Amino acid sequence: MSNKPNSKHVLHFRLIILIGFIAAFAQTGLAQESDTTTVDSVKTNTLFDFHTARVEYFTGSEIDNFIPIDTTLHLFHRYNAARLNDFEMAYLGNLGAPAYSRYYTFDRPLGFDYGRHERDSYMLSLDELKYYRCNVPFTNLYYVAGGQGEQVFHVTHTRNFGKDFNFAIDFNKIISEGYFQYMKTDYTDVSLTAWYKTKNERYQVYVGGIRGKVEAQENGGIASDTVFELIDPASVLPLRSQALTNWDNWQGQITQQYYFGKDISYQIDDTTSATYFAPQFAIKHTYGITDYFYQFEDPATDRTYYGTLNSNPDTLRDRTQIRGMYNRLSFGNADFITVAKDSTIKNPVRWEIYGLQQWHEVADAVGKQQYNNLIGGINFQAKHILDSLITFRAQGAYDVKNNTLIGKTSLRFPKVILNPEIFAEYRRLDQTVIQHQYTGFAYNWDVTFDYTTYMRLGARIGSAKNAFALAYTYEIINNEVQFWETLFTNDIYPIVGNTTISKIMLNKNFTLGNFHLNNNLGAQLIDGVINAPTFIGNLSWYYSNHLFESALFFQAGVDVWYHTPYIQYDYDIITGQWINQTDFDYNYSAPTEPTIDIFANFDVQTLRFFAKVDNAAQGLFSKGHYTAPNYPMQPRSFHLGLNWFLFY
């Protein structure tokens, strides 16, 4: 018996709600005074206009570098974060399931890293918090409903109180029952942001916080290689029926910035003058705290799935709590310089020196371990120097506590045809905590490896006008940690290996009248321990036009993802690590058939909505395929979604 409600009735109920939303939103949306074209036409890096409806935001440490909200239909239908990037990620079939990139990237930061990133695509981090600026109260409503009990709900509300204070609240919810039994995912994120600056604009403070929660059933996959041959594949019992993963996290930070500059006088008329403040340098301090709690548990009595156990409690349970804090202090010049009362320019030369102190405590079955990092770094950027002939960037950071470092540099030539750029990067990092040490009811390792080193050399050319970009990189990774599994005991353990990769990525978009052919293609020649497809691609082809005397704008087309066969990574439900299957006789090779979605996007002033069919080609090339060993891809499913912008 399935543990799910009647999916047909649930879907009908959600469709009725969704249709009601569309009808109500369309009527109200048409009554709004502000049109999306007004917001889209906003130019950034200029003084904020409080007389035209505008909503902007910045993320991370890019204070004052506000960008406008995206009200276009570009990739609007891609509600699943695993399909949002240039190439589809490998994920375990269900919305919200663990995922990894098939196009290899090494993006580990300097400093503390526990090492669980399998759900990063769906979860919010402090660097992704949006700090808004708006001259009208603004609400953003987003909702998706689809087959397999999928629902996505996202609401954001922000408003300015005068010109010097803003508050925003964001709520995000993802729920998906899944097609196969016992694979429900449930994500909840609530975030708050606020900022204030004094009237003289010298002092600014930014506050952000996140409360996140994940509850996920872990079914361990389907123990049947012929599942797609069955009349009712969803009736097949999975390997686990009671296993659960729970994540709880609290995150918060406060950033304060003080500008040093000078007051500049200007004439209002022949008899009246005034002054305004022009910033020159800034000192900035950020203090943050984090608290993560991971728990995996399985109360089932049949435990053969886990192999040899280190303990035999009534309920198999592994827990880890990670508490931490950090301080970052920096000094640098201002991103923008005011040259007149009503205009600003972007500073062509930017520099920043900073220090970062981190402290974390990891509590698990072993006890408590503390980790300290003390990092010093510099960021430098010179844009359009030597009469705009060269743009140069350099970043460097060193952790004096752990003798680890990161260095990056790039050189671009804006006036040369196709804007050629060369770049280089080097990283020397410790292994993550979970790669170094783990103790639980099923696994136990405590190993020390030499530093993981990563070097990347590359070149890039491109033209925004011609929608074209071509990049080549050569990458060398030494002592890269991979997890392997023993054949008979089902234990997993970390080992290190070396890899070299030559990569090419081509992005080229064509427009033929109202037809758009957007193409992303990649190639990876890999020699080493990393598994990834040699060729990978994403094609998004669609037709767009206006209807009803330009009252409605729409897109209709297909997304196609393709990659050549490669040995897939298995997934460990306890630790959240991806397991290398190269040495196994029964390893799974990823399929060669493409994945195809059919979509239609619509825009009516401040209302956008879409209809799409995921995995529309299932049955055309094969009856189905696996996204990881024992994890079949979900079958064809239909989705409706809407997004409504409210400007009060």
Rg of the chain taking only CA atoms, in angstroms: 26
**pTM of the predicted model, to two decimals?**
0.87
Report pLDDT for 40.
Answer: 33
The full set of domain ranges for the chain reads: 7-642
Contact 449, 498 (CB under 8 A): no
What's the pLDDT tens digit per position in 388-434?
A: 789 999 999 999 999 999 999 999 998 899 999 999 999 999 999 99
Report pLDDT for 401.
Answer: 95
Residues 431-451: b if buried by 16+ CB within 10 A, e if exposed = bbbbbbbbbbbbbeeeeeeeb
- H runs (alpha helix) in 178-313: none
Contact 98, 628 (CB under 8 A): no
Listed in sequence order, the residues at least 6 apart from 425 whose beta carbon sits closer than 8 Å to its beta carbon are 406, 407, 408, 409, 454, 455, 456
Contact 128, 59 (CB under 8 A): yes
Report pLDDT for 7.
Answer: 43
- Nearest one of 153, 155, 151, 213 to 176, comparing CA atoms: 151
Report pLDDT for 51.
Answer: 54
- Which portions of the chain are predicted below pLDDT 70? 1-53, 225, 487-489, 583-591
Give the whole-angstrom CA distance, residue 400 versus residue 376.
Answer: 8
Give the whole-angstrom CA distance, residue 21 versus residue 27.
Answer: 10
What is the CATH architecture of 7-642?
Beta Barrel (2.40)
φ and ψ at 204, to 5 degrees? -135, 145
Intra-chain end-to-end CA distance of the chain, in Å: 49
For 29-93, give the DSSP string: HHT-S--HHHHHT--SSS---SSS--EEEEETT-TT--EE---S-TTTT--SGGGSSSSPPEE-S
**Helix, strand, coil percentages, rounded to 5, for the chain:** 10, 55, 35
Contact 119, 294 (CB under 8 A): no
Report pLDDT for 388.
Answer: 74
